[in-house]
Amino acid sequence: MPKAGGTTLHEIIEREYWYMRENTYTVQRFRHLPDFLSMPQEEKNKIKLLKGHIPYGLHEHLKGESVYFTMLRNPLNRIFSAYHYIISKPKHDRYDFIKSKGINFSQFVELNVNPWIWNAQTKILAGETDLSKECSENVYKRALYNVEKNFIAIGFLEFFDQSVLHFGRSLGWTKLPLYKKSNITIHAKAKPTIVDDKTRNIIKRKNKFDEMLYKKLFEKEKDGLFQRNISYSISKIANSIYRIIK
């Protein structure tokens, strides 16, 4: 998912599945999806690990059975982070417009500067490839169906450490995941608690399917997510040391 800890998760996955390096394909951005889709089928058949910003359904292009796992993010936090990410990246296609107009976060939300951010998590899990399209109840239901059918685990960025261990248990990872969070937006320490009520209400209205999805899947996954055992304690200590020495 865009703006949901993907860079750090990529690094963890690449270390765990190092032996699949020659058979791994990464879709960096949605705009790179045509590159994958246009590949000859014999090349797609070699892929054992497909990762990145991808919609549900790409497993149909691969050989054999597949399972999915992903990281979700609180919808308000994700949109807040997306805004600060854009204004920190001069090469972003919305950067000049936002900077030249002096658009703050509230205006960013009201003006609908980036329509693809609304309900993006729902649309991606539903298999939508055009994120600028309106979401709907049917798209939301399709997302839930796909998760139930083919996802082995769902994580949540707000509980990143627990989510990584949840992935490890679900996928049978043999190594203790060590990581230092990467690609954190410059303004990551800014908190959406400063968002005014009017802006919050607009976000909840425009982003209602992501709100519903996040709450429902969190309830579904929380038992596995908060399964605390000795592995959790060891992971917390090991990663604290790893972040210091890195």
Q: What are phi and psi for residue 206, nearest 5 degrees? A: -75, -25
What is the pLDDT, as a whole number, of residue 243?
44
User: Does residue 139 sit within a domain?
Assistant: yes
Nearest-angstrom CA–CA distance, 132 and 113:
11
Residue 237 lies in a domain: yes
CA distance 1 to 30: 10
150 in any annotated domain: yes
- The answer to whether residue 163 sits within a structural domain is yes
Residue 151 in domain: yes
Domain region containing 114: 6-245
Give pLDDT, residue 161.
86
Please list, residue by residue across 194-221, b when 16 or more beta carbons sit within 10 angstroms of its beta carbon and e when fewer do.
ebeeebeebbeebbbbbbbbbeebbeeb
pLDDT at 245: 47
Which residues lie below 8 Å from residue 228, measured CB to CB, with a gap of 6+? Answer: none
pLDDT for position 190 = 55
Total domains, the chain: 1
> Does residue 229 lie within any of the structural domains?
yes
- Inside any domain, residue 1: no
Query: What is the domain-level CATH number for residue 171?
Result: 3.40.50
Span 103-113, pLDDT tens digits:
998 998 888 77
**pLDDT for 239:** 43
Round to whole Å and give the CA distance between 139 and 110.
24
Whole-structure pTM value: 0.83
pLDDT of residue 240: 46
The parts of the chain modelled with pLDDT lower than 70 are 1-5, 115, 176-193, 228-246
